[in-house]
Structure 1
């Protein structure tokens, strides 16, 4: 590696760390100020402390992830390159999403509670949200959010294993929709202490990519079903806008995912695909919060 190539990698990493530290400071210092001034309810103070703890844990996870790429064992084979653990990468991603989701829900809850306390929350909207007709839809939106999260985390495994650099076609993987069984459940990833071939799900690039595709296709299909179902329900304007936005985000993310794959993961498309995942999750969080019951 030439010095200019190293500088490029170094400054990406340095910038990422500086942004992470800035996020921590920009959250913790105002939190201390508002808490000291008595401008937080007991509940919000506890939530803020929990998010602060997550921020600290995220810093640890970042160090722990980078540390996994410094092992000499990774460089024994000819042509090897340093690589962080896909497990630690995915855990780092999961913590980041947990922080992001927590801030969204806490902030949205503060805004809603303020409207309720000041009597500015529309009564007709509260009545619609408390309708028994929305119970199944509310449960389905939560379940879909869990599936989206699982799909994103499987994408972390794909990134960690460079699994997007194989089978660069869609919808097929080789000669069929499903790759050969001996590739999906290869003995190459089985350790003597394993009970079965389950490790393929986490360490075999072919299996990991297939799982991510399957989860993404399932998410897109169920999102479409939920969107169609929503048209039969008396939703408040905010919830209607949220489900429509989520459907648009699904279409965008599917397009970005397929494009990233068939063009062999160029940096720009890969970054857009990651951003698309965050947009999709955000739209789901919006939907979930917009459906929460309101005390009359």
Structure 2
């Protein structure tokens, strides 16, 4: 009896709670409905217009965001820019090699005018060729050295110089046009914008320097009956700026393409890095001294090795006064300097190789150092052969190309040993 009364009370309590919850839900629903009705009543025509304008502005902003320059992810951007710069550095190598062959064939003074666009089209008719040949005959190279030259022979040297100039224009386009495209696409960060502008500016400077060099060989020198040639100072500046452009492009391209190794920053590794940097500087200086050898035809002064004639140090080493003048204008001194720098570079690279063998380096870095060492010995062998054979054009051109290859491998070594950017 007691249990039945308790059960009835529990049932009544549960029923009351359910009824209370149901009535609470009804009240909440009515409140929501009232709120919705109030909002609907507040929607005046002005409010509807404001909402429509706001929606239209949102759509316009979204469309503008969709048309903004797309930015490629950083890793992909680096690969694209790295390939571009490596391609540009390859074109610069082509210009250096072609310029060397142009000089060796004595073709550099065949085009006596400089026009950025007009000279892109070579002479077509015989009358045009005769007019161009007539202009060439007015300058010292024809009067002193090529006074018996025929029109077909002139065409050969003209096309050599024309090809070199057109290749230079191709190099300029390869730098400038992609720079504009990548800039608009948003591929450049702040640092890369500065580098790209610097490289493009350097290309234009190199073109002007080339004409400034050629101009020195066209000047009348009544007091001199020597073979007309361009200034060795301007030739060295022209080659040196081309090599700087090449090094900057190659280094930037490699650092974008090749991830740095995570190496422990030890004392010996820092010493190796400094050693490698000094070696790159020595290789560059040796290549630059080769421009003075070419400008003065110093390779034809003493054609023996290791002695110069029958002496280690020739008598006319310091024949000019003041003494400093010998290092830039005395063919004997210029050849001697190039020999010393070449042997010093070979010694430094050999030392770099021996020093690196005693260290735990990544496989790629070891390969780079080994390739650099092998190329150094090949380059010295090429130089000695060129000297002993009285500077034949094919061998001399190969020797000049070898200097660029050696410099390239030295920069690769630096790229492999560089520190990880913080």
Equivalent-residue separation in structure 2 for 1:27 and 1:177 (angstroms) = 47
Equivalent-residue separation in structure 1 for 2:263 and 2:408 (angstroms) = 25
Decide whether the 8 Å contact of 1:126 with 1:295 is kept in 2: no
- Partner residue in 1 for 2:313: 178
- Partner residue in 1 for 2:233: 87
Q: Tell me the TM-score normalised to structure 1 length.
A: 0.89
Written as runs of structure 1 = structure 2, the 5 A alignment for 1:187-198 is: 189-190=320-321, 196-198=322-324
Decide whether the 8 Å contact of 2:273 with 2:417 is kept in 1: yes
Total equivalences in the alignment: 274
**Residue 256 in structure 1 maps to residue 382 in structure 2:** yes
**Residue 148 in structure 1 maps to residue 263 in structure 2:** no
Decide whether the 8 Å contact of 1:253 with 1:273 is kept in 2: yes
Equivalent-residue separation in structure 2 for 1:157 and 1:21 (angstroms) = 25
**Residue 206 in structure 1 maps to residue 343 in structure 2:** no
Decide whether the 8 Å contact of 1:141 with 1:288 is kept in 2: yes
Of 253-262 and 5-14, the range deviating more from structure 2 = 5-14
**Residue 47 in structure 1 maps to residue 173 in structure 2:** no
Give the Å deviation of 1:133: 2.6
Give the Å deviation of 1:110: 1.8
Give the Å deviation of 1:77: 3.7
Give the Å deviation of 1:62: 0.2
2:245 pairs with one of 94, 99, 111: 99
Decide whether the 8 Å contact of 2:283 with 2:407 is kept in 1: yes
2:219 pairs with one of 58, 71, 86: 71
Give the Å deviation of 1:9: 1.4
Give the Å deviation of 1:8: 1.7
Written as runs of structure 1 = structure 2, the 5 A alignment for 1:1-296 is: 1-73=149-221, 76-78=223-225, 80-112=226-258, 125-128=261-264, 130-180=265-315, 183-186=316-319, 189-190=320-321, 196-295=322-421
Give the Å deviation of 1:107: 1.1
Give the Å deviation of 1:225: 1.3
Structure 1 residue matching 2:387: 3-state secondary structure:
helix
Unmatched tracts of structure 1, length 5 or more: 116-120, 191-195
* Runs of 4 or more consecutive aligned structure 1 residues displaced over 6 Å after TM superposition: none
Structure 2 residue matching 1:58: 3-state secondary structure:
helix
Structure 2 residue matching 1:110: 3-state secondary structure:
helix
Give the Å deviation of 1:159: 0.1
Give the Å deviation of 1:2: 2.3
Decide whether the 8 Å contact of 2:175 with 2:199 is kept in 1: no
Structure 2 residue matching 1:175: 3-state secondary structure:
coil
Question: Greater Rg, structure 1 or structure 2?
Answer: 2
Q: Structure 1 pair 101/31, CA: closer, same or farther in 2 (3 Å)? A: same
Structure 2 residue matching 1:173: 3-state secondary structure:
coil
Unmatched tracts of structure 2, length 5 or more: 1-148
- Partner residue in 2 for 1:118: none
Give the Å deviation of 1:262: 0.3
Name the Cα RMSD after superposition. 1.4
Decide whether the 8 Å contact of 1:93 with 1:153 is kept in 2: yes
**Cα distance per residue 1:44-71 (max 9 Å; x no partner):** 1111111111101100110100000011
Equivalent-residue separation in structure 1 for 2:395 and 2:421 (angstroms) = 44
Equivalent-residue separation in structure 1 for 2:263 and 2:380 (angstroms) = 36
